Amino acid sequence: MPAEVFGAGYEFLPKDEILRFGEVERLAKVFVKMGVRKLRLTGGEPLLRRDLHVLVRKLAEIEGVEDLAMTTNGVLLAAKAEEMKKAGLQRVTVSLDAMDQEVFGAMNGVGAKVERVVEGIDAALAVGLVVKVNTVVKKGVNEGEVPKLAAFARERQIPVRFIEYMDTGNANRWKLDEVMPTADLLAQLKQVYPLEAVCDPKLGETSERFHLPGVDGFEVGFISSVTRPFCRDCNRARLSADGHLFTCLFASVGHDVKALVRGGFDDEALAMQLAAIWSVRMDRYSEERAGMKEIPKKAEMSYLGG
């Protein structure tokens, strides 16, 4: 969230426009009855939401939920990890784009400290949460940090995923020549580690995964949405804080399901509406990007989450 865009004068949503925990729980229950098995809390930064553990507990108690995870920048995680674990959270994915503080600052731009993120990761591991590290790689900024991050993950026996810099939203002023292709990153890491491909792909899996024989826990994944898009296998839906359903990370607009929830629709009618939205989705932005003469305006990553 660049400070020049989201500065002191930026007008955020009024609280009554944001979904209440009970509304999120209700929609989650409807989705689970339709076949969803994985739920993820993301952001912006989900740990900023007051009493988030209450929502985590509500979601963890839904029959049929097999995986309850959170994506976080890790800054508040050390203080919240135990509370989240007790509430029923199973996994956290922590964003960490560099081990060097100066490079880290260039990537996140909000003054966060690497040490606080590392403290959060260690606290999450200490309370028994499953931890994964996500790193966005931007050419000319942090590609030199990739071996350090791999070493960090190996030391803690956790997976790390390197993500090609994407044109999510409009505020990051994305350029194609700033993308560090997965093939180059993999070649770089293979000079250090004898990585072998993990050959158990699942439908909707976003990353290509590699492991180090004989080393438990440590794994390297690559999300290549620019050089090797996976639109046709995508099975993810995103529900924004203000109750809009997005069928693609690169979508311009979402479907207003808050109006349905607050408009008296029962669960069966809600399910029918959600199924209708999902069944006609045509999202293929990553596959079509190269042939576009004009790039459409997209929802910001801070609004949609990862």
- Residue 66: which of 26, 28, 22 has the closest Cα? 28
pLDDT score for 256 = 96
Mean pLDDT of 26-36: 97
Over residues 163-191, mean pLDDT: 86
- The 10s digit of each residue's pLDDT in 230-249 is 777 888 899 999 999 998 88
For the chain, percent of residues with pLDDT exceeding 90: 67
Confidence label for 84 from pLDDT (cuts 50, 70 and 90): very high
pLDDT digits (tens, 9 = 90+) for 62-76: 999 999 999 999 999
pLDDT in tens, 99-111: 999 999 988 876 7
Residue pLDDT, tens place only, 245-299: 998 888 888 999 999 999 999 999 999 999 999 999 888 767 777 777 777 777 7
Contacts of 35 (CB under 8 A, 6+ apart): none
Residue 160 tokens read as 């790390």
- Strands 219-223 and 208-211, how do they pair? antiparallel
Q: What does the pLDDT read at residue 26?
A: 98
Residue 204: per-residue pLDDT: 59
Q: Is the pLDDT of residue 201 over 70?
A: no
Is 239 in contact with 257 (CB distance < 8 Å)? yes
